[in-house]
Amino acid sequence: MARPASHSSLWQLWHQVFTDLFRWIGVLGRELSSSRGRWVVLALPMLWLVAFFLVPFLLVLKISFASAVSGAQPPYSDMIGTAEDGALTLRFAIAGYQLLLTDSLYVTAYVNSLVFATVSTLGCLVLGYPIAYGIARASPAARAVLLVLVILPFWTSSLLRAYALIGILRTNGLLNQLLMGLGITDAPLVILHTDLAVYIGITYNYLPFMIMPLTANLMRLDFTLLEAAADLGARPLTSFLRITLPLSVPGIVAGSLLVFIPAVGEFVIPDLLGGPDALTIGRAIWTEFFSNRDWPMASAVAIAMLALIVVPMLVFEYVQDKRLEGDRR
Amino acid sequence: MNGRKPFVLYTAMAFGYAFLYLPIVAVIAYSFNKSRMVTVWGGFSLKWYGELAGNTQILDAAQRSLLIAALTATLAVCLGTLAGLALARFGRFSGRNLLSLLTSAPLVMPEVMLGLSALLLFVSLEQLVGWPERRGLTTITIAHVTFCICYVTVIVRSRLVQMDHSVEEAAMDLGARPWKVFFVITLPLIAPALLAGWLLAFTLSLDDLVVSSFTSGPGASTLPMVIYSKVKLGVTPEINALATLVILFVAAGVTIAGWMLHRQGKATG
């Protein structure tokens, strides 16, 4: 008797579960079709981003104040503990941040990152401006082809493109073969694993980011202004410097930010193309984390990077946006 | 305009495009090189593709990466569309600023920061609730979805803002329920944006090295992780062949999708 009874109770349970499930799906459906459904639309992405972006971010902040404990799993100290008399203690270790300011290694990493990002942004601007200008002035059909050609590399793997550059820049690579073949240099130039290679690499990787906003900006430029200037006797260079360039400043700023911000935190390119002394923040965090297993230090470096570079850039962009909006009004 | 400036302009443009494409073309050319020496041309050969086909480590990683990329893109499109819809259509609501911040912050967050923070979350979760026991496919996918949502949101949101709101309003006035309006009217209209968002999320996930390295566990290397460790050891013809396949695969996908969108754009005006 026991067996069928448990069977029937199990069956009842499943029945219950299924009817409940369908009832709840019905409720959910009604909920979704009512105006309250928008809260579901809102809540799903919000919950995901809070759980997997905001909370982790706060965790990094928290762990940056812990101290490293080697051998432990995970390798950092508990900040909230109990003292011997049972009182709750809260330990803040700011050793990581102190080290950040005093150890020349980290200061060098920050300076390097800023220099790499700045020089590469300028490189993108110099290379990208003529392309953007040419695209903006091309016929619609040519413009579409030229734009696709700019965007296509952006879709292909940046890791593989960094790898492709190694083949070009190596001592016995294509560039040196070309230079020596043309008789420009006698001995191969050492480019790979120098700072120059990092500049070339970041410029190469982020060039589409500069060209796209610049093109959008230059396409809105009123080219009759240039014709008027030419009619009035201005030389092309003068009208470029006094009309085109000032009017394209918003595009230049947008493109520069798109290149500069990711370039500061870049890991792959300095690591593959730069020399061992091309220490950047990205590499510093990577080494602290994977080689030294000092998670609090890695977190402190990351927080400092955000506070020193990313946040000021965002504030700058915000102010710029507000100013442009003000101009439009 | 005098004749000199276009010449300077065209030279500069040609140099820029050569800079963009020469390294890629060189990799593709050398992938057919017979010689093991990467710099010496030893005749045409497909032998590196053959070796690639026999490399189980790379094939395993490629399979894992493709699976992660497909899962990531699909989840990111679902969540990103909801976020884009909320930001473009819900007007002012409490939490709008938070959602706007959360969907734009990962775009400017350095990859190392995204990877580090995701890992610290998984480690803390493991301590608290015992999940995830092992890091691998699931943890990498979650971390990828998190930053891919933001790209999809940007695309969907800008498409919705450009789109004529009156069709949706008309359907609403005729008594269609909001959810039906979304599926029958809004969704088909933003389909190109969804396709673009899916492709972008797919390629971002497929390309990612840094976030995957942080959130992966033993025995769960993705394709970029395998490529990175091989490249660290030096340039090999096998990686040339692999790079060629990946580049052609992505280029073909993007070109076909772009062509389809272009045709659809023409058809619907």
Place of tokens 């050891």: B233
DSSP states of A43-100: HHHHHHHIIIIIHHHHHHHHHTTS-B-TTSSSSB--SEEE-TTS-EEE----HHHHHH
Q: What is the pLDDT of residue A25?
A: 61
Helix (H), strand (E) at residue B59: helix B56-89
Q: Which amino acid is at A313?
A: M
Residue numbers of chain A with a pLDDT score lower than 70 = 1-37, 70-73, 78-92, 324-329
Q: Is the dihedral of CA A183, A184, A189, A191 positive or negative?
A: negative
Q: Render pLDDT for A170-195 as a digit per residue (tens, 0 to 9).
A: 888 888 888 888 888 888 888 889 99
Of A191, A110, A302, A132, residue with least CA distance to B116: A302
Pairing type for strands A88-90 and A80-82 reads: antiparallel
Query: Could you tell me which residues come within 8 angstroms of residue B45 by beta carbon, excluding any fewer than 6 positions away?
Result: B32, B33, B34
- Please give the pLDDT value at position A114: 92
Answer for the pair A273, A169: CB distance below 8 angstroms, yes or no.
yes
B209 close contact with A: CB closer than 8 A: yes
Q: What are the backbone dihedrals phi and psi of residue B186, each rounded to the nearest 5 degrees, phi first?
A: -65, -50
Residue extents of the structural domains in chain A: 109-279
Q: Which residues of chain A make contact with B1, given a CB cutoff of 8 A? A: 226, 230, 236
Q: What was the ipTM of the complex prediction?
A: 0.90
Q: Tell me which CATH homologous superfamily contains domain A109-279.
A: MetI-like (1.10.3720.10)
CA angle in degrees (0–180, nearest 5) for B209-B213-A261: 50
| Digit-coded pLDDT (tens) for A69-100 | 766 667 777 666 656 666 666 666 777 788 88
Q: How far apart are CA A177 and CA B38, in angstroms?
A: 13
> Measured between beta carbons, which residues in chain B are less than 8 angstroms from residue A127?
12, 15-16, 19
CB-based contact B9 A134, cutoff 8 Å: yes
pTM as predicted: 0.86
pLDDT value of position B173: 85
Taken in order A216, A220, A224, A229, the sign of the CA dihedral is negative
CB of A190 closer than 8 Å to CB of A197: no
pLDDT tens, B187-224? 888 888 899 899 999 999 999 999 999 999 888 899 99
CB atoms within 10 A of CB A4: 9
CB-CB neighbors (< 8 A) of A42 in chain B: 82, 86, 90, 93, 95, 99
Query: CB-based burial of residue B76 (10 Å sphere; 0-12 exposed, 13-18 middle, 19+ buried)?
Result: buried
Give me the residue from A155, A160, A168 closest to B243, CB to CB.
Answer: A160
CA distance B170 to B51: 60
Residue A215 Cα, gap to closest chain B Cα (Å): 13
Residues 250-289 of A with CB under 8 A from B: 261-262, 264-268, 272, 281-282, 285-286, 289
Query: Are the C-beta atoms of A309 and A264 separated by less than 8 Å?
Result: yes
Q: B28 at the A interface (CB within 8 A)? A: no
**Series of mean pLDDT values for 10-residue runs along chain B (269 residues):** 69 93 90 77 85 90 95 95 88 82 87 93 89 89 96 91 83 81 84 90 94 92 93 82 89 84 68
Q: Given B109, B111, B251, which is nearest A156 (Cβ)?
A: B251
